Amino acid sequence: MKRRDFIKNASLTGVGLTVGSSLLSCNENSSEKTKTNTIMALNDLKAPIAICTWGFVSANAKAGEELSKGIKALDAAIAGVSVEEDNIKNTTVGKGGAPDREGNVTLDACVMDSNGDCGSVVCVENITNVAALAKRVMTETPHVMLAGSGAEEFAYSQGFESDNLLTDSSKKVWEEWLKSPEYKPLINIENHDTIGMLCIDKDGDIAGACTTSGLSYKMKGRVGDSPIIGSGLFIDNDIGGAVGTGMGEEIMKTVGSFLIVELMRNGMSPQQACKEAVQRITRKNSHFKDFQIAYIAINKSGDVGSYCIHKGFTYMKYQNGKNENIHSDHYVKS
Ligand code: ASP
């Protein structure tokens, strides 16, 4: 039995009362050992590191620059993803995102910090920087998730400004779609670019953010995986973090990001864990050729991995001042 398990069992059975002082000294030694291991891991780590889904060069560079200045992982991730939330040319994140089938742009986002705290907002209208809003839910309310008009009112109470998220060009494309509307909730292999970002700061702490307008022309009220803690994003600062993009319904059914972190806890590398999480989906869903799923993950040592169903998914990695776009391995080879 490992010392930690013995301590846990002893305190449950009362044995700890008789051997309390010797356990105390063992415990002190082991926490010293943990401290030394953490310092060694930090030396090996070459932090900071930022990774994000897709080719969001500027967003990832922004996060990397913030981390290099000593900004903590969560704030760096939020600063990074907000570059895309503000980018009106990006039609699946923030302002300029594609609307639902009734013409309303509704955004979803979540954040998770290295201490396990998290915040989320779903189906929010008229607010651009929803990842920052999700952080406010985390820090300024006793809750994890706020939805719809409640989230919007909370945003105003926090000083966020109202904005029209439907740009002229998104409106035009939606009006074209309306001419022959077909409700096919399938995510086209290229047409989705939720930004999910994972950062390790100079202290070796991990945090992340995920933000999207979701499926284009979705049903009113539809929410995907992106704001769901454990599906679109999950962090365990002892182990690592993961984020997903693609067909949110399939990610939710397998609680994909949580699964990846748990697989890493059990010894898999980020790469192996992402692959296994994708294969949980492809094994059970015979329609996997019709949609894309992609994951990226990072572990406590700064190792990075990624896997997706179809060729074409790339991710960004910032480390040592270098910001590179990397092609992910994929399941469908032909
Ligand atoms: N995962 C997102 C959703 O299902 C879509 C995406 O990644 O583009 O809402």
DSSP label at 123?
A: E
* Domains: count for the chain: 2
Task: For residue 194, indicate whether it is catalytic.
Answer: yes
Instruction: Give the span between the Cα atoms of 301 and 298, in whole angstroms.
Output: 8
Residues 157 and 36 in one domain: no
The predicted structure's pLDDT at residue 26: 34
For residue 329 the two structure tokens come to: 């391995």
CA 247 to ligand 1: nearest atom: 4
CB atoms within 10 A of CB 23: 17
What is the whole-number distance in angstroms between the Cα of residue 110 and the centre of ligand 1?
Answer: 13
Residue nearest to atom 8 of ligand 1 (CA): 192
Residues 214 and 323 in one domain: yes
Catalytic option among 53, 91, 128, 194: 194
Residues 3 and 54 in one domain: no
Identity of the residue numbered 323: N
CA 193 to ligand 1: nearest atom: 8
Residues 185 and 273 in one domain: yes
The predicted structure's pLDDT at residue 31: 52
What is the whole-number distance in angstroms between the Cα of residue 300 and the centre of ligand 1?
Answer: 26
Residues 21 and 135 in one domain: no
Residues 59 and 187 in one domain: yes
Residues 133 and 4 in one domain: no
Residues 53 and 146 in one domain: yes
Q: 308 in ligand 1 pocket by Cβ < 6 Å?
A: no
Q: 192 in ligand 1 pocket by Cβ < 6 Å?
A: yes
Instruction: Give the span between the Cα atoms of 245 and 224, in whole angstroms.
Output: 10
Residues 192 and 78 in one domain: yes
The predicted structure's pLDDT at residue 141: 98
Mutate to test the pocket of ligand 1, among 81, 120, 188, 194 (most ligand atoms within 8 A of CB): 194
For residue 189 the two structure tokens come to: 């292999």
Residues 34 and 183 in one domain: no
The predicted structure's pLDDT at residue 189: 47
Residues 140 and 183 in one domain: yes
Q: 196 in ligand 1 pocket by Cβ < 6 Å?
A: no
What is the whole-number distance in angstroms between the Cα of residue 228 and the centre of ligand 1?
Answer: 11
CA 214 to ligand 1: nearest atom: 9
What is the whole-number distance in angstroms between the Cα of residue 93 and the centre of ligand 1?
Answer: 10
Residues 140 and 172 in one domain: yes
Q: Which domain holds residue 7?
A: 1-44
- Consecutive 10-residue averages of pLDDT for the chain (334 residues): 30 29 37 51 74 96 98 98 96 94 97 98 98 98 98 98 96 91 63 87 98 94 98 98 96 98 98 98 93 96 97 96 97 91
The predicted structure's pLDDT at residue 184: 72
Mutate to test the pocket of ligand 1, among 225, 308, 328 (most ligand atoms within 8 A of CB): 225
The predicted structure's pLDDT at residue 303: 97
Stated pTM of the model: 0.87
Q: 245 in ligand 1 pocket by Cβ < 6 Å?
A: yes
CA 191 to ligand 1: nearest atom: 8
Q: Which of 273, 270, 279, 271 is nearest to 250 (CA)?
A: 279
